[in-house]
Structure 1
């Protein structure tokens, strides 16, 4: 379920950090809190005992492009306890919430600004949308690339390399644990995974691939569109 970040209790944040620190090396509570405080909303996955088993943080903000307004959903950390990887409830709740945001101001384009440390996150783009960037089977349009560059530079400054589309930090902002960083041979053979590894070869040291997707009914695949457009 989506909630405003400011409404999270200390107990809930403690549980979220426990999930985060189990998935990432270099975990530091002060940096986690700082990042969380920058976000506006969280999507929470709970089990039948109401215990948090996953979460996705996001920041909704306004921007401009070519002198026209746009809205941006910047995705932060998305963590699911491995025991609940089979559940798609977090993803479903995320796309429903994005649809609610789009309905608030349908005349203003809504973009999903995503940075990917791993292929699992990157593959959500194809699961949700017809068109997104970057992708292996289509070149990124120049105007879309310029918008990506603008958003990434505004948020990350010199950590963003426009030539590669990758964020690299002098001090890692969170590396996947060795277990989660491993990619099976079967997954490596998937075209989207192979492309992700080509674009972000140093993902295991914390590099992140910058991605962008317009969230609109016409750009979403049928299942995602049904959730996005649901009342």
Structure 2
């Protein structure tokens, strides 16, 4: 297997051919999508992390939107994760989580005084199982009730981003028609996984994940809240922050 390398590209650098490659990979694993929908969503993102093999063939990516907002009379930031996929032969590699944490650290270093959150909607149990690997505290989780303050913030961001498609009572984003769901065998639960605590909890909270329902999740991105592997990438990003990152993103 070829070793993967990561590359961050900004919105100003998105080109049609590259976007097509991203879509072609994405549609191999997700239903409920089309080129127009994918391109429209990508246009709202600020940057993407690409995973490339030694031949520079695209093997995975994730997209990212930076949301600046005010909460409780204080400016804050949230990183919203968009479409994400890694080609099946490369599952298990940790280059994408590390690259994501490094980029998050760079963004934190732009405005270190602002609270920074990871805001995401989860459409599969594999993604949900990453959250306890990233952070000590994240929500929602079977480990503890969601604090009222965090629940209010989750509701605020979800309504800001998804409007009436967000259901406060369930914490789910439900579109009239799927805007992307794992298809075929990729939506299946691996044998023996249903009883794992995080998988069981995800399925209880989002039983119709395979139809495109997405569970709103949130965590604060701080050194103290991040676990060892994620913290390493985050701190590397903060120390190597590009002074031109803000100009590039915005």
Equivalence map 1:1-231=2 (5 Å): 1-230=7-236, 231=239
Q: Alignment RMSD, CA only?
A: 0.9
Residues 6 and 187 (structure 1), Cα distance of their counterparts in 2 relative to 1, 3 Å cut: farther
Shift of 1:191: 0.7
Scaled by the length of structure 1, what TM-score is found? 0.97
> Which of 1 and 2 has higher RCO (CA within 8 Å, sep 6+)?
2
Q: Partners of 2:138 and 2:89 in 1: how far apart?
A: 30
The DSSP-based 3-state class of the residue aligned with 1:217 is: coil
Quick check: 1:129–1:213 contact (8 Å CA) kept in 2? yes
- 2:30 touches 2:180 (CA, 8 Å); kept in 1? yes
TM-score under structure 2 length normalisation: 0.90
**Inter-partner Cα distance in structure 1 for 2:155 and 2:202:** 18
Q: Which runs of 5+ in 1 are unaligned?
A: none
Q: Secondary structure at the match of 1:150?
A: helix
**Contact 2:122–2:215 at 8 Å: present in 1 too?**
yes
Aligned length: 231
1:2, 1:94 within 8 Å by CA — same for their partners in 2?
no
Q: 2:112 and 2:201 mapped to 1: Cα distance?
A: 33
Using the TM superposition, give the Cα deviation of residue 61 of structure 1 relative to its aligned residue in structure 2, in angstroms.
2.1
Show structure 1 runs of 4+ deviating over 3 A. none
Distance in 1 (CA, whole Å) between partners of 2:26 and 2:150 is: 32
Deviation at 1:86, TM superposition (A): 2.2
